[in-house]
Structure 1
Amino acid sequence: MATPVVTKTAWKLQEIVAHASNVSSLVLGKASGRLLATGGDDCRVNLWSINKPNCIMSLTGHTSPVESVRLNTPEELIVAGSQSGSIRVWDLEAAKILRTLMGHKANICSLDFHPYGEFVASGSQDTNIKLWDIRRKGCVFRYRGHSQAVRCLRFSPDGKWLASAADDHTVKLWDLTAGKMMSEFPGHTGPVNVVEFHPNEYLLASGSSDRTIRFWDLEKFQVVSCIEGEPGPVRSVLFNPDGCCLYSGCQDSLRVYGWEPERCFDMVLVNWGKVADLAICNDQLIGVAFSQSNVSSYVVDLTRVTRTGTVAQDPVQDSRPLAQQPPHPSAPLRRIYERPSTACSKTQRVKQNSESERRSPSSEDDRDERESRAEIQNAEDYNEIFQPKNSISRTPPRRSEPFPAPPEDDMATAKEAAKPSPATDTQLPVPNAEPAIIPATRNEPIGLKASDFLPAVKVPQPAELVDEDAMSQIRKGHDTMCVVLTSRHKNLDTVRAVWTTGDIKTSVDSAVAINDLSVVVDLLNIVNQKASLWKLDLCTTVLPQIEKLLQSKYESYVQTGCTSLKLILQRFLPLITDILAAPPSVGVDISREERLLKCRLCYKQLKSISGLVKSKSGLSGRHGSAFRELHLLMASLD
C-alpha cells in the first residue's frame, strides 16, 4: 500500500561548492528568484541557476576578494565590488565586461542598480556613497554623512531616493537629483545591516544587529513601529510583492511581520543558519546562505504561511495563506510611489555600448580586457537563461514552475538533490571583452538632471521652480565657501607676515598656534619642497601636527603628513639614534645638551607616531604603500 505524500512548509533545496575558496558575498535575482550570483575570496563572481548543480558563468578581473554583488532588475547586468575598492559591471547576455569603476579607497560593502536608469550606487568601508553613471562612465555624486562603513543601499521604487544603512547605527535618505541628504533616522543601537523600501507606499524598513526591525514613515520622517525580540542580528528582510507583510530571515527561522500595529503573523522553522538573501517566485520564498566555500538554498511554501496576528488590538485574524489573500480593500495610509510610464530601454543601452566600443582603447583598457573575462561554464544552462527571448521579454522555462517539495519521509531523495557539485566544468572560450577603465579622479561630479533618473514623467515640474532651487543651493554653498576661504586667507596672512622675517621656526609656531590644520598643511607643502629648510628644532614642533594629519579624513592632509614624516625620517632619524646612543660627554657642553634634549623629544614623538603608522600599513591603495614605506623607515626605532 502506497504511503501518502505529505508536503512540507520549508525544506532544503540544494547545497553546492560555489568557489575554490571561501564565499564572501551572494545575491538572488529578485525578478525570477532563480538566478544566484556568488562572490568569493578567489576574486571570482560565479553565476548559478537555483536547483542546478553546475556553474553557468564565471566572471574574472578582480584582484582582491569580492565583497559585494548585485543583479539589476531584468537580470541582464551584474555589478561586483572588491576588497580593494574597485567595481566591475558585466553584461550577462553579451558575456562581456562593460565597465570598471575606480574611486573608493576601501572595501565595497554594498551595491544597488537604479530601477529606471543605468546608474549604480556603491557604499564602502571608507564611509562614502557614490553614484556612478555607466553610460557617461564616471562618478555622478558622492554622498558624505556616515561615519562608519555603509552596509546596505537601496533605491526607492520610483527612482528618486536612495536609502543607506551603516555601522554608525543610522539610516539616511538621500535625494538623488538634489545630491543631498533628506533625512536621518536614528534609533537603532547597533550597526544597521539592511534597508528595504515598501513596494508601493512611502515606507522603509531597516534591520539591525541590535535585533530589531524598524519601520519609517517617509512622509513624516518618523518611526512607525519597532519589532523587537529577533533571535539574532537582522541581516535580510523582504516585503511581500503586494506589501501586505515583511519577511525576516532569522537564525534558523522565517518570521512574517506586520507593522501597524507591530505583530508577528507567522513563524516557520528553517534550518538555514545565517540566511544572506531572500527572493519570492511562484508563491515560494527562496533563501540562500553560505558557509566557507558552500552555498545552500532553501524554499518556504508561502501557501502554507498564514496571517494570524499575535496582537490583541488587531481585530483582523485572517487564517488564509498570505499567498491567497485578496488585495487590501482600504486605501493605503501613506502616499504611493509615482513610477514613470516607461523605463530606459535596452536598445538605448546596446547602442551606447557600441559607441563606446568604437573608441580606440588605451593600454589600461587592453590590460583590463585581458584580465576581466566572462567565462561560460555551462553552455546549455546559459543559453536557456540568457539567449531565448522574444521581442518583448525573455521568459525562460526556469521561471514557470515552482520547486517541488520532497516527501516528508524520503530523506534519501532530499539528500541526493542537495548533493554538492563543484564548479569545475570545461570552460568554453568566449570573445574577449572590451572594457573601459573609468577613473574617478578627485571624485568630481559630472552633473545630472532629474530626467536622467525619470525618463518619462507625465507631469514635469516647471523649469522656473527647478532653476530657483538650483540657484538657492549654489548660493548657500557659495556663502559657506566664502566664509571658509576668508578665514583661511586671514590666517595665512598672519603666517606670511612672520615668514617674511626669515624665521622659519617662528612661522611654523604661529601656524600651529592658529589651531587650523589647513594652515599647517599649506605651510608644510612649502617647506617640503626645500629639504634644507628643515632643522631639528622644527621637527619638535611639526611632529605632533603630523600625527594629527595622519589621522585626518582628508586625503590631502594624510598625503602631506606622509611626505613631511618621510623627510624627517630620512634627514634626522640617523642623527637622533646616533646622539642617543653616544656615551655621555665629559664636562659642560650646553649646545650638546640642548641637542640631546631635542633628540629625546623627537624620539618620543616618533615612537608615538610609529604605532599609528604600523596600524595603517595594512591599508590598500596609494596610502597603504606610503604607510608601509614609513613603517620600514621607522624600524630602527625598535
Structure 2
Amino acid sequence: MAAPVATKAAWKLQEIVAHSSSVSAVVLGKSSGRLLATGGEDCRVNLWSVNKPNCVMSLTGHTTPVESVRFNASEDLIVAGSQSGSLRVWDMEAAKILRTLMGHKANVTSLDFHPYGEYIASGSMDTNIKLWDIRRKGCVFRYKGHSEAVRCLRFSPDGKWVASSADDSTIKLWDLAAGKMISEFTAHRGPVNIVEFHPNEYLLASGSSDRTIRFWDLEKFQMVSCIEGETSAVRSILFNLDGCCLYSSSQDSLHVYGWEPERCFDVVPVGWGKVADMAICNNQLIGVSFSLTITTSYVVDLNKVKKSGCAVQGPIQDKPSSQVPSLGSSIRRNYERPVTSCTKPQRVKQNSESERRSPSSEDDRDERESTAEIQNPEDYKEIFQPKSAISRTPPRNSEPFPAPLEDEPVIAKESVKPSPSTDIATPLPNRGNPDQLQRPPVLTSTPIKAEPTVIPATRNEPIGLKAADFLPAVKNQNQVEVVDEEAMSQIHKGHDTMCVVLTSRYKNLDTVRAVWSTGDIKTSVDSAVAINDLSVVVDLLNIINQKASLWKLDMCTSVLPQIEKLLLSKYESYVQTGCSSLKMILQRFLPLITESLAAPPSVGVDISREERLMKCKMCYKQLRALSSMVKNKAGQSGRHGSAFRELHLLMAGLE
C-alpha cells in the first residue's frame, strides 16, 4: 500500500496586481472566505474571487484614495471609506451604487456592518464614530470619546454593542440602544489596531502596536489574560469558528493562542509578511497582505494546526493543566442572537441633516456618477446569481483550496488588470425582497432616552463639517453639499487673506507668550487685551481656565469687560470660553467681593485693604452690568442655555 503523499501546511495561493497605483486597503468576506475586496490610491474598489486571476467588478465614485473597505454578513453589500471622510455603499448583486454618506471631517479608517440590520459603523481620524442607517442615508448616532484616530470597529454577535479601538491606546464598548459608553479598557501601551468578539462567549480580544494581545471579560469588564509573545505590532487576529482558539498573523508566521491561561498552542511558518485580513473557510485559513500595487493571498491548512492541548515552547509559558478549562466548556455567558424574521421593519425616526436633503442634492448626484463596472461576467454570475428570493446569494465554491506537495514549488497565479472604465452590458439578476433581511430589534425603534453615565453619544447633530461650512451662504438652500473640486477652488480664493490673518494672530500670540514667560500673568492678560484681538484673549483664557490658582482679583478687573464681548459673540467657542471664565470668577471671588463691600469702614489707614476694596467695587459694577445679559440668555434652550442658567444662579449673591 502506497504511503500517503505529504502536503504543505501553509502555502502562497495567488499574487495579483490589484490596482494601477498603490493598494491602501484589503478585506476578505468572512462568511465565504472566497471574496476579496481591495481599495487603492486610484480611488477605486476592486472585487476579486480568491484564487482567480480576473477582477470581477470595479467600483468607482470616490474622488480620494480609499482608506477602508468592509463586506456585510451576506456579502452582497460592500462599503468603502475615503481620505475625504465620505462613505459609499454598493449593491454587488445589482451592480450599482446604493448610498453615499457624507459627514466625517477626516480619513475614514474603520468600518463594520451590523450583523442583522442595514446599519454601518464608521470610525475616522477625526476621532468620531458614526452609526448610519443605509436605508435612509441618515446618521443615527455619533459617539465621541476617543482622542485619536479610530482604527477598528466591531459589532457584537448579538448586534447590541459596538467595540472601538484607537491610536489613543484605549478600547471602548458602546451600547447601541442607550447611546453611551458602557466600559473602557486602558491596559494597552500603544495604538490598538484590531478588536474581535468571541463568536459565542462574552469575550473580546484586542491586538496592539505594543506587541501584546489582550483578552477582556465582557461580563465583569476586566482583563482575562495578556499574551506578550508577539515580535511585531499586532494588526490582524481572528477567533476560530467554534471559539476554541485565537489566530494571530505574526510577521511571517501564524500563532495559535489560548487565553485561560494564556498559552501558545502552535506556530506555523507562512512567510506572508504583514497580513491585512484573515478569514476561515473549509477548515482553511486565508490571509491576505499587500505591498505597493500587489496583493498576495496565502492558505494555512487548519487540519495541520494544533488548536488545543500542550503549548509549544516559546515566550509564553504554559500554566499547570489543572488551570486549563475543559475544551468546549463555556465559563461565560453566551450571546443571545435575535430570531430571524421577514416582517417589515419599523421606520426609524431621523432628524439628521442628510435626511432633509432634496432628491436633487449633491449626494444623489454622486450616486449617479458612481458606477459598478462588471469586469468578468462569468465570475459575476457564478458569485452573485441568486438561486431564489429566500437565498439571495448562493454558497461560494465549497471545495477547499488544493494544497501543493511538500517538495513542489508554488507558482503564484498572475492577475489580469481591470480595464480602466469599460462598461460591459450584462443581464443583471432580479433582486430578492429586501424586507426579508433581519433588522436588529434594538435599532428599529426610537432609542432609549437614558442619561449617560460615562461618555454620552451626541445624537441628531450636524454630521460633521462640510466644504460648504467654509464658504459664504448660498441663496439656494437646497444646495447643501459642494463637490471637492469646486469647494477647493472657492477656498483657495481666500487663501492669501487667511494666511495674513493667521500670520498676524501668530505674532500677537508670540507677544503675549514673551510676557507670559516672565511669570506675570496679570501683565500677560493686559497685553492680550491691549492687542485688541478677541481671538488672542480667548486663547489665553482657555489656558488660564484650566488652573484656578492662576486667577487673582486684580486680573478680574481686566477680564470682565472682555467677558461681556465674548458672551455677545456670534462664535460658539467664544461664548463657551466667556461662560467658563465668568463661572470661575463667580465661584472664587464673589464671596470676597460681597463680604468686602458689606464690611464696616476701617479705622485708620490700611492701603492694601483700600486697594482691595476698590478692586471689589470695580468687579461688582462689571458683574452687575453682566447680570441682566445672563438673565436674558438663561431662557435659551440647549447647552448654552444651561450654562447661562447656572451663571444666573451663581450671580444671585449680587442682589
> What band does the TM-score fall into relative to the shorter chain?
0.5 to 0.7
2:538 is matched with which residue: 532, 545, 548?
545
Structure 2 CA distance, aligned partners of 1:285 and 1:390? 29
1:187-208 CA-to-partner distances (Å, cap 9, x unmatched) read 0000000000000000000000
Counterpart for residue 220 of structure 2? 220
* 8 Å CA contact 1:266, 1:308 repeated in 2: no
Deviation at 1:546, TM superposition (A): 5.5
2:321 maps to a residue whose letter is P
Per-residue CA distance 1:514-558 (angstroms, 9 max, x = gap): xxxxxxxxxxxxxxxxxxxxx9955356435368899xxxxx969
1:453 maps to what in 2? 440
Please name the residue that 1:139 is paired with. Answer: 139
**Partner residue, 2:365:** 367
Query: In the aligned structure 2, how far is the partner of 1:419 from the partner of 1:363?
Result: 43
Give the counterpart letter for 2:538 in structure 1: Q
- Matching residue of 1:604: none
- Equivalent residue letter for 1:52: K
| 8 Å Cα contact 2:43/2:66 also seen in 1 | yes
Contact 2:261 2:323 in 1 (8 A): no
Distance 2:337 2:390 in 1: 20
- Structure 1 pair 328/384, CA: closer, same or farther in 2 (3 Å)? farther
Structure 1 counterpart of 2:338, one-letter code: P
| Residue 309 in structure 1 maps to residue 288 in structure 2 | no
Q: Distance in 2 between matches of 1:205 and 1:330?
A: 18
How far 1:331 moved relative to its partner?
A: 3.9
Cross-structure match for 2:419? 424
Q: Is the 8 A contact 1:201 1:335 kept in 2?
A: yes
CA distance in 2, matches of 1:431, 1:208: 45
Structure 1 CA distance, aligned partners of 2:358 and 2:280? 44
- Contact 1:96–1:432, Cα closer than 8 Å, also in 2: no
Alignment of 1:89-128 (within 5 A): 89-128=89-128
TM-score normalised over the length of structure 1: 0.65
**Measured at CA, do residues 370 and 454 of structure 1 come closer, stay the same or move farther in structure 2, by a change above 3 Å?**
closer
Indicate conservation of the 8 Å contact 2:287/2:299, yes or no.
Answer: yes
Relative distance call for 1:130 and 1:456 in structure 2 (3 A) is: closer
Alignment match, 1:520: none
2:151 is the alignment partner of 1:156? no
Secondary structure of the residue aligned to 2:532 is: helix
How is 1:7-18 mapped onto 2 (pairs within 5 angstroms)?
Answer: 7-18=7-18
Q: Secondary structure, in 3 states, of the residue corresponding to 2:225?
A: strand
Conserved 8 A contact 2:375-2:424: no
Query: Hey, what's the Cα distance between the residues in 2 that align with 1:339 and 1:133?
Result: 20
Change (3 A) 1:82 1:345: farther
Flag structure 2 segments of 5+ consecutive residues without an equivalent.
312-316, 348-353, 429-437, 457-511, 513-527, 544-569, 576-655
Call closer, same or farther: CA 1:12–1:3 in 2, change over 3 Å: farther
Measured at CA, do residues 383 and 420 of structure 1 come closer, stay the same or move farther in structure 2, by a change above 3 Å?
A: closer
Partners of 2:198 and 2:206 in 1: how far apart?
11
Q: What is the alpha-carbon distance in structure 1 between the residues aligned to residue 79 and residue 413 of structure 2?
A: 28
The one-character-per-residue Cα deviations of 1:80-117 (angstroms, maximum 9, x if unpaired) are 00001001111110111111111110000000000111
Matched, 1:285 2:306: no
1:135 CA displacement? 1.7
Pair 305,297 (structure 1): closer, same or farther in 2 beyond 3 Å:
same
CA distance in 2, matches of 1:287, 1:346: 38
Distance 2:207 2:541 in 1: 36
CA distance in 1, matches of 2:207, 2:184: 15
SS for the counterpart of 1:74 is coil
**What is the one-letter code of the residue matched to 2:210?**
D
Structure 1 residues 110 and 408, CA gap change in structure 2 (3 angstroms): same
- Residue in 2 that maps onto 1:470: 449
Does residue 1:408 correspond to 2:401, yes or no?
Answer: no
The answer on whether the counterparts of 1:150 and 1:167 sit within 8 Å (CA) in structure 2 is yes
* Cα distance in 1 for residues equivalent to 2:540 and 2:23: 38
Paired residues in the alignment total: 455
Corresponding residue number in structure 1 for 2:335:
337
Deviation at 1:455, TM superposition (A): 7.1
State how far apart, in whole Å, the 2-side matches of 1:123 and 1:10 are. Answer: 34
What amino acid is aligned across from residue 37 of structure 2 in structure 1? A
Matched residue, 2:380: 382
CA contact (8 A) 2:249 2:275 kept: yes
User: Given the superposition, is the C-alpha separation of residues 347 and 425 from structure 1 closer, same or farther in structure 2, using an over 3 Å criterion?
Assistant: farther
Q: 1:332 Cα deviation (Å)? A: 1.0
CA contact (8 A) 1:374 1:430 kept: no
**Any residues of structure 2 matched to 1:509-520 within 5 Å, and which?**
none
Give, in angstroms, the shift of residue 426 of structure 1.
Answer: 8.0
Deviations 1:44-84 (A, max 9, x none): 00100000001000110000000000000000110100001
SS of the equivalent of 1:63 reads coil
Query: CA contact under 8 A between 1:202 and 1:336: conserved in structure 2?
Result: yes
Structure 1 residue 40: Cα displacement = 0.4
Contact 1:343 / 1:456 at 8 angstroms: preserved in 2? no
* CA positional deviation for 1:149: 0.3
CA offsets per residue over residues 124-152 of structure 1, 9 Å max, x none? 00000010111232111110110000000
After TM superposition, list the pairs within 5 Å mapping 1:557-596 onto structure 2: none
Q: SS at the partner of 1:369? A: helix
Long gaps (5+) in structure 1:
319-326, 350-355, 434-450, 458-462, 478-511, 513-534, 551-555, 562-638
Residues 464-508 of structure 1: per-residue CA shift (max 9 Å, x gap): xx99x736569x99xxxxxxxxxxxxxxxxxxxxxxxxxxxxxxx
SS in 1 for 2:449: helix
Report deviation, 1:213. Answer: 0.3
Instruction: Kindly provide the amino acid, as one letter, of the partner of residue 149 in structure 2.
Output: A
Q: How far apart, CA to CA, are the structure 2 residues paired with 1:559 and 1:21?
A: 42
- Residues 280-320 of structure 1 deviation map (CA, whole Å, 9 limit, x = unaligned): 000100000000010000000000001343254342899xx
Task: Sort the Cα spacing of 1:346 and 1:32 in 2 relative to 1 into closer, same or farther, 3 A.
Answer: farther
- Distance between the aligned counterparts of 1:340 and 1:539, measured in 2? 62
TM-score, L = length of structure 2: 0.64
Q: Distance in 1 between matches of 2:128 and 2:10?
A: 39
> CA 1:120/1:453 → structure 2, altered by over 3 Å: closer, same or farther?
same
Partner-residue secondary structure (3-state), 1:249: strand
Identity %: 68
Alpha-carbon contact 2:176-2:442 (below 8 Å) kept: no
Aligned: 1:175 with 2:154: no
Do structure 1's residue 229 and structure 2's residue 229 form an aligned pair? yes
Conserved 8 A contact 2:385-2:393: no
In structure 2, distance between residues paired with 1:397 and 1:540:
66
The aligned residue for residue 479 of structure 2 is none
Distance 1:378 1:97 in 2: 18
The separation in 2 between residues aligned to 1:9 and 1:540, in whole angstroms, is 70
Name the Cα RMSD after superposition. Answer: 3.7
Describe the superposition over 1:321-368 as per-residue Cα deviations: whole angstroms up to 9, x where unpaired: xxxxxx97664111100001115679999xxxxxx9xx9830525531
1:390 to 1:9, Cα distance in 2 relative to 1, 3 A = same
Task: State the one-letter code of the partner of 2:268.
Answer: V
Could you tell me whether the CA contact under 8 Å between 1:17 and 1:295 is conserved in 2? yes
Q: Which amino acid aligns with 1:313?
A: K
Deviations 1:182-239 (A, max 9, x none): 0000100000000000000000000000000000000000000000020100000000
> 2-side partners of 1:418 and 1:316: how far apart?
48
